[in-house]
Amino acid sequence: METTKPEFWNSLLTEQSWDLLKELSTKPFQFAVIGGWATYLWTRQHKSKDIDILLFGFKDLEYLRQNFNLVKNDSLKKYEIKNGEVDVDIYVPHYSVFPIPPEEMLKYITRIENIKVVSPEILLITKQEAEKDREHSVKGTKDRIDILSILIFAGVNFSLYRELLRKCGKEEFLGRLRKIISSFSELKYLGLNPREYKLKKKELLKKLGE
């Protein structure tokens, strides 16, 4: 029996967010998408309500400062724009903090639908960092759904994933990822039934153990 996959966030809000992301991609500044929208672009599973972007440099930040109501968030090492109900979080090389330095992340970029997006391996690591910080929240649940979506639908290169973990000293993410895979129960958001997920789980755990 086929499992129907529901959307995680309100569709009206995600459509507003998607339209804004497409609009930003036509502007004369360079960025790569990370977070929930990057997961969607790779997997076509769940849309996001917030936009997370990584700028290529400070000249791109200057463009945003001149054309948008840009707010600096020193405590979280990012910048922010609010557009109606949609939040845009903006990260910058040599300032924002990630498990992998932003300038290193920008070496792993692909263009999907004319939008630059970080690779599945980079995305997986940054999603794991987010999930670690908000494990017991609604956003933590969405992080785990995104993590499984990336693993199942985005064609992760597990050798590159492990190499990047070694480079940034986050080898413990491997163990946490195994736990997320083993205990994942939100199957309706993947469109999989228990038997299908059992097979996927076995396959993924095997790949992580190689």
pLDDT at 210: 56
Cα 47 to Cα 51: distance, rounded to the nearest angstrom: 10
pLDDT at 135: 85
Q: Mean pLDDT by 10-residue block, N- to C-terminus, for the chain (210 residues)?
A: 55 88 95 95 91 96 95 96 92 95 96 96 95 87 93 95 95 95 92 93 89
pLDDT at 78: 97
Tell me: the pLDDT tens digits for 58-69?
999 999 999 999
DSSP three-state, residue 183: helix
The three-state (H, E, C) secondary structure of 109-172, written as one string: EEEECCEEEECHHHHHHHHHHHHHHCCCCHHHHHHHHHHHHHHHHCCCCHHHHHHHHHHHCCCH
Residue that is written with structure tokens 């910048």 in the block: 79
pTM of the entire structure?
0.90
pLDDT at 1: 39
Tell me: the pLDDT tens digits for 172-199?
999 999 999 999 999 988 989 999 999 9
Domains of the chain: 11-209 (3.30.460.40)
pLDDT at 136: 85
